[in-house]
């Protein structure tokens, strides 16, 4: 077999996923030119075998074969994202040395690789700007996707509009990325405009576009629009099902379970995470345990998001021992894992455990946010740990420089109101809160509410909660909507 034929065969085998056969053939080749090396490494890269792709590249260089523009764009594909086996920079240097760094495919692959890391977005933009009129549709989409990926969705959407102004046709790629950006910033209006454009240009037959549309409608609380698209799609893939199930798990958990039963595909890790979350919302412990069994059978236990969802589910189902078991077995934990477990302790009345776990979290080097403090203060409130809760509130502001949001204020008010007879000990409340500064929420300053509560308490310390009730309820009825629920809970209990 000639080298040319062998190379064609390697490429063909890889495109069908038969990478091992391709590699066997590659190893048997007596001689390999740059095309053969490139076919092998690109084959690995396109099958997600990134380390292998990079390994072939290194062996190729060691063997003295000179990489060309095809090689560079192939190996750069393997070097995207935070888990990439290498970063773009050394490959960029190779491309410069070989004189191929300005070739369109190579530049686009470089933009894509740089923009796959948060710290590389600026470098990607520099390359993108330098391209000028040499930009292709792929340059635009890689750059827009880079912005959307790293929290600069608005910049991405502005670039998307510039792209259209510059005369580039709306492609399925650009459209799905732009829709994803709309989803991230919850821009239903732009999302709907894009939907209309999709219909006009017949892009709505593309599954990635449809999936992005479904996701956008689910996130923008238009579940019926999402469902109508879902029902109207003749071809659905696992992502379509997962997106719809995830949408339902947020607003109609029973329907999420129903959809799982209708699904023909084998559920994956994404599916089971959403289903676990649906079970959590329904407090359906038996169902949740079955899902956990399915997770174990499929070896999804090591997945971080899956673990977090299971901790949350067991916590909300009141099974704190199971929650802790899952938490302890998690090989890798993030902020959400700790928050779910702390909140789990709190909602099940284990205030001391929540406080201890917070210490462990700090010890583990995880930086707390509003949600952690909200869980903690709420845990302390439920467990009668007023002093601890109040100290956490102060530490949130003074040590961690976090401005309390309305939920945290609500929880603190709850904490103080529950203190009951100890209320007098919090005489410093008003002064301390004044120090924080006034915060207007829904037309009323929380400080004003706290002031009111304080003044009524001071006026009749024998029955502070009852005294609070009428006045606070009056304020709430005039100015509060959803944020008042925590107050109302206290008030109804007190009166």
Q: In sequence order, what DSSP letters do the residues of 276-292 get, joined into one string?
A: HHHHHHHT-HHHHHHHH
Map tokens 């992502």 to a residue.
239
* CA–CA–CA angle 377, 379, 383 (5° rounding): 115
Cβ closer to DNA: 110 or 476? 110
When the beta carbons of 138 and 372 are compared against DNA, the nearer one is 138
Q: Rounded to the nearest 10 degrees, what angle do helices 137-149 and 121-131 cross at? A: 160
Question: Least distance to DNA from the beta carbon of 100, Å?
Answer: 8
CB-facing half-sphere around the CA of 422: CA atoms within 13 A: 11
Count CB-CB contacts under 10 A for residue 197: 15
Min. distance of Cβ 224 from DNA in angstroms? 18
Q: Do 281 and 253 touch, CB atoms closer than 8 A?
A: yes
Round to whole Å and give the CA distance between 469 and 474. Answer: 8
Q: What is the dihedral of CA 23, 28, 31, 32, to 10 degrees?
A: 0
CB of 74 to DNA, least distance (A): 5
Rounded to a whole number of angstroms, the minimum distance from the CB of residue 35 to DNA is 4
- Complex with DNA: residue 39 or 86, whichever CB lies closer: 39
243 or 465: whose CB is closer to DNA?
243
Closest approach of DNA to the CB of residue 71, in Å: 6
Nearest distance, CB of residue 455 and DNA, angstroms? 40
Minimum distance from CB of 284 to DNA (Å)?
Answer: 15
Q: How many CB atoms lie within 10 A of CB 89?
A: 13
Between 37 and 423, whose beta carbon lies closer to DNA?
A: 37
Sequence-separated (6 or more) residues with CB below 8 Å from residue 368: 335, 358, 361, 362, 396, 400, 402
Q: How far apart are the first and last CA of the chain?
A: 90
Least distance in Å: CB of 106 to DNA?
6
Q: Which is nearer to DNA, 89 or 205 (CB)?
A: 205
For DNA, the closer of residues 250 and 391 by Cβ is 250
Assigned token pair, 14: 């890889």
Cα–Cα separations (whole angstroms), residue 110 to 68, 152, 215, 402: 14, 19, 29, 38
Dihedral of CA 107/110/115/120: which sign? negative
CA distance 203 to 207: 9
367: DSSP letter: P
Q: Closest approach of Cβ 412 to DNA, in Å?
A: 24
CB closer to DNA, 191 vs 389: 191
Give Cβ neighbours of residue 75 (< 8 Å, ≥ 6 apart): 41, 45, 53, 54, 57, 67, 91
State the minimum distance, in angstroms, from the CB of residue 87 to DNA: 17
**CA–CA gap between residue 468 and residue 459 (Å, rounded):** 10
Nearer to DNA, 305 or 465 (CB): 305
Q: What is the nearest approach in angstroms of DNA to the Cβ of residue 241?
A: 8
**How many CA within 13 A on the CB side of residue 416?**
27
Q: Which is nearer to DNA, 208 or 473 (CB)?
A: 208
State both tokens at 247: 């949408």
Is 266 or 481 the residue whose CB approaches DNA more closely?
266
Closest C-alpha among 267, 222, 266 to residue 247: 222
| Residue (45 or 473) nearer to DNA, CB | 45
Smallest gap, in angstroms, from Cβ of residue 174 to DNA? 6
Classify the phi-psi angles of 332: left when phi > 0, otherwise alpha if psi is within -120 to 50, otherwise beta.
beta
Residue 381 to residue 358: CA distance in whole angstroms? 15
């Amino acid at each position: 077999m000639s080298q040319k034929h062998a190379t064609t065969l390697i490429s063909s085998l890889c495109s069908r996923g038969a990478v091992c056969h391709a590699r066997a053939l590659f190893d048997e080749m007596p001689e390999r030119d740059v095309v053969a090396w490139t076919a092998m490494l690109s084959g690995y890269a396109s099958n997600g075998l990134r380390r292998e792709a990079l390994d072939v590249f290194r062996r190729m260089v060691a063997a003295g074969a000179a990489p060309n523009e095809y090689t560079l764009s192939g190996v750069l594909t393997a070097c995207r994202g935070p888990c990439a086996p290498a970063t773009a920079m050394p490959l960029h240097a190779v491309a410069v040395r070989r004189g191929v760094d300005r070739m369109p495919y190579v530049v686009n692959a470089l933009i894509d690789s740089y923009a796959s890391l948060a710290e590389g977005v600026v470098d990607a933009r520099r390359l993108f700007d330098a391209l000028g009129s040499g930009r292709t549709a792929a340059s635009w989409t890689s750059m827009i996707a880079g912005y959307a990926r790293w929290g600069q969705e608005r910049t991405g959407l502005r670039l998307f509009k510039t792209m259209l102004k510059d005369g580039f046709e709306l492609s399925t790629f650009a459209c799905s990325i732009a829709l994803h950006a709309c989803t991230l910033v919850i821009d239903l209006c732009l999302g709907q405009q894009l939907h209309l454009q999709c219909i006009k240009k017949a892009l709505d037959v593309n599954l990635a576009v449809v999936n992005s549309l479904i996701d956008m409608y689910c996130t923008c609380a238009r579940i019926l629009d999402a469902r109508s698209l879902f029902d109207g799609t003749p071809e659905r893939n696992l992502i379509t099902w997962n997106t719809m199930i995830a949408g339902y798990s947020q607003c109609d958990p029973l329907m999420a379970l129903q959809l799982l039963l209708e699904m023909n595909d084998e559920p994956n890790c994404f599916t089971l995470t959403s289903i676990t979350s649906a079970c959590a919302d329904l407090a359906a412990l038996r169902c949740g345990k079955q899902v956990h069994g399915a997770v174990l059978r499929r070896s999804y236990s090591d997945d971080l998001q899956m673990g977090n969802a299971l901790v949350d589910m067991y916590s909300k189902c009141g099974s704190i021992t199971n929650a802790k078991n899952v938490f302890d077995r998690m090989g890798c934990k993030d902020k959400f894992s700790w928050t779910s477990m702390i909140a789990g302790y709190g909602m099940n009345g284990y205030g001391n455990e929540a406080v201890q776990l917070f210490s462990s979290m700090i010890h583990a080097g995880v930086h707390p946010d509003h949600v952690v403090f909200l869980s903690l203060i709420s845990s302390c409130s439920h467990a009668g740990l007023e002093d601890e809760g109040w100290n956490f509130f102060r530490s949130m502001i003074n040590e961690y420089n976090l401005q309390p949001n309305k939920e945290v204020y609500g929880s603190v008010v709850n904490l103080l109101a529950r203190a009951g007879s100890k209320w007098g000990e919090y005489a410093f409340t008003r002064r301390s809160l004044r120090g924080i500064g006034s915060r207007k929420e829904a037309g009323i300053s929380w400080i004003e509410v706290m002031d009111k509560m304080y003044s009524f308490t001071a006026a009749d310390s024998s029955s502070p909660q009852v005294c609070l009730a009428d006045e606070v309820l009056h304020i709430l009825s005039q100015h509060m909507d959803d944020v008042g629920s925590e107050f109302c809970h206290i008030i109804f209990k007190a009166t």
